[in-house]
Amino acid sequence: MIVAALAAAPILRLQSHYFALATLALASLINLVAVHAESLTGGANGLVGFTAGLPQGPILLGLVWFCLIPSVLAYAAFFKGSMGENARLLREAPLEAATLGIDGGLWRFLAFVAGGAYAGLAGGFSAALSGVVSPEVTGFPVMLLCLTSVVVGGVRHPMGAVLGAAVAVCLPELFRGLQGSWLLAYAAATLVVVLWAPNGLAGLLDRPRPRLPPMMPDRIAPMPGPQRLVLDRITKRFGGVVALVDVSFTLDRGEIVGLIGPNGSGKTTLLNAISGLEPADSGVILLDVTQIERLPPHAIARAGIGRTFQTPLEGETRGAGLARMLATDAVFLLLDEPAAGMTDREREELVRLLGRLRDAGRGIILVDHDIALMTRVCDRLVCLDGGAVIALGSPDQVRADARVRASFLGLPANAA
């Protein structure tokens, strides 16, 4: 656990497969040290003859399972509740998790250290059982066996680790006649599970629970918090491309401001800058008098700014992101094309929901390409083009603006 905590700082800065490669490299490093530091580790032969005072037989069995059973039950309880939902969201949509106030860095650190604690516990029991501490246990084959056994058992099921372990332990015994070829049988079993049972053996045995559609609240209660969101000369560049140029406007509680503009005009980039996902290069963002433009996304979310994204998570119904955000304490909502892909009936429900949110004192920045919808629900419109604000005012004023007509609406610059 201590080693995991020390290793976490550099390794957790890496992403995705780079993280996996770094953990493999760390294990290889430990293996090299174990082989070459003979005076400390016994070298390639390892340490033997230390089991005299350690529990054996049924006592060791009882001790192992005494640690395992509460761990599995705690795991099940953890992933069943809201904490588990947070963990799943962090895994499947880390950006959305950050904009809901989930501190991904802290979660990753705690998960890494907790994982190290379990691995250390297992290592101690393994030494007591075998009577040997050998560098072999840090080798790639052992790591691969552990990983694939969990995949076979079911990564997302509390009993997956137990079922996978049973398969990994029993298969060599069942196929003892095949001698070394039992690995072929194990590889075949792994392939079958990965292809036809992605939730593992535990997923096959458990009945899947139907997913409930997201519940939109009928009434939205007023909420204390900041009264005004101020954007002052927000500028953002990506290399030589200027995405936002001195964008300034305000959003008050109980107001819906629509953000319109052609593709690539910087609408989503502006929402990313406000929510901290892509911090602005210059400019100031204020919640009342508090500057937030340098805060991380989870801190901005906790300060009262919620965010939805254009693309819903796999398997989610429409509006799930919106429903999830409404469950937070956000008073200012950044909605990125929430009506995309909705039916007419769903759009009507969305319009009613936006009205209820406004009546309850939420401030909303709404991005959408449907100018009729925007005109209907927004109090003001802001039109971006080339990252700059080209028009700001009431929907009628903005729609009548010559530059908006030319760049966004595709109409003659002069209104008839």
Partner 1 sequence: MGRIWRVLLVMIPIVGIVVLPPLGQRLVTLVGIYALLGLSYPLRCPLLTSAARPSSSRSSPR
Ranges within 193-222 binding partner 1 (CB under 8 A): 206
Residue 62 found at the interface with partner 1 (CB under 8 A)? yes
Return the SS3 of 103: coil
* Contact call for residue 34 and partner 1 (CB under 8 A): no
Q: Is 165 helix (H, G, I), strand (E, B) or coil?
A: helix
Q: Which CA distances in Å does 347 have to 316, 368, 370, 371?
A: 17, 12, 11, 13
| Least distance between partner 1 and beta carbon 20 (Å) | 7
Single out the residue of 225, 283, 298, 357 in contact with partner 1 (rule: CB under 8 A): 298
Among candidate residues 156, 155, 165, the one with its CA nearest the CA of residue 209: 156
Residue with tokens 């010559």: 402
293 binds partner 1 (CB under 8 A): no
Bridge partners of residue 383, in order along the sequence: 260, 391
Residue closer to partner 1 (CB basis): 40 or 61 = 61
- Cβ neighbour number for residue 9 with a 10 Å cutoff: 10
Which stretch, 70-78, 175-183, 210-218, 285-293, contacts partner 1 (CB under 8 A)?
70-78
Part in contact with partner 1 (CB under 8 A); list of ranges 35-43, 118-126, 313-321, 345-353: 118-126
Q: For the residues of 112-152, what is the DSSP string, one character each? A: HHHHHHHHHHHHHHHHHHHSEE-GGGGSHHHHHHHHHHHHH
DSSP tag of 207:
P
> Applying CB under 8 A, does 235 fall inside the site for partner 1?
no
Residues 109 and 8: beta-carbon distance below 8 Å: yes
Applying CB under 8 A, among 159, 193, 325, 350 the residue interacting with partner 1 is 159
Q: Which is nearer to partner 1, 282 or 397 (CB)?
A: 282
The answer to the question of residue 1 lying near partner 1 (CB under 8 A) is: no
Nearer to partner 1, 71 or 227 (CB): 71
Least distance to partner 1 from the beta carbon of 217, Å? 27
Identify the residue among 49, 58, 141, 224 touching partner 1 (CB under 8 A).
58
**Phi, psi (deg, nearest 5) at residue 287:** -105, 105
Q: How far is the CB of 307 from partner 1 (least distance, A)?
A: 12
Closest approach, Cβ 269 to partner 1, in A, equals 5
Which residue, 103 or 401, has its beta carbon nearer to partner 1?
103
Residue 288, both tokens: 């009342």
Choice from 122, 313, 373, 402 touching partner 1 (CB under 8 A): 122
Applying CB under 8 A, which part among 35-43, 158-166, 251-259, 312-320 lies near partner 1? Answer: 158-166
Name the minimum Å distance from CB 363 to partner 1: 22
Nearer to partner 1, 276 or 361 (CB): 276
Question: Rule CB under 8 A: is residue 97 a binding residue for partner 1?
Answer: yes
Nearer to partner 1, 316 or 349 (CB): 316
Cα–Cα distances (Å) from 371 to 82, 366, 374, in that order, read 38, 11, 5
Q: List beta partners, residue 365.
A: 257, 334
Interface region with partner 1, contact rule CB under 8 A, candidates 182-190, 248-256, 259-267, 354-362: 259-267
Q: Tell me the residue type at 39.
A: S
For the bound state, the minimum distance from the C-beta of residue 129 to partner 1, rounded and expressed in Å, comes to 6
From 145-153, 224-232, 345-353, 397-405, span contacting partner 1 (CB under 8 A): 145-153
Residue 368 to residue 345: CA distance in whole angstroms: 17
- Residue from 5, 27, 132, 147 that binds partner 1 (CB under 8 A)? 147
Q: Could you tell me which of 32, 20, 23 has the C-alpha nearest to residue 3?
A: 23
Burial of 348 (0-12, 13-18, 19+ CB in 10 A): exposed
Strand partners, 367: 259, 336
Q: Locate 61 and state its tokens.
A: 């069995």
Rule CB under 8 A: which of 299-358 touch partner 1? none
Q: What is the CA radius of gyration of the chain?
A: 28
CA 251 to chain centre: 28
Q: Residues touching partner 1: how many (CB under 8 A)?
A: 90
Q: Is 125 in the site for partner 1 (CB under 8 A)?
A: yes
Q: Does 30 bind partner 1 (CB under 8 A)?
A: no
- Of 179-187, 238-246, 356-364, 389-397, the segment contacting partner 1 by CB under 8 A is 238-246
| Residue 173 found at the interface with partner 1 (CB under 8 A) | yes
One-letter amino acid of 119: A
Nearest to 390 by CA among 285, 280, 270, 265: 265
**Does residue 296 touch partner 1 according to CB under 8 A?**
yes
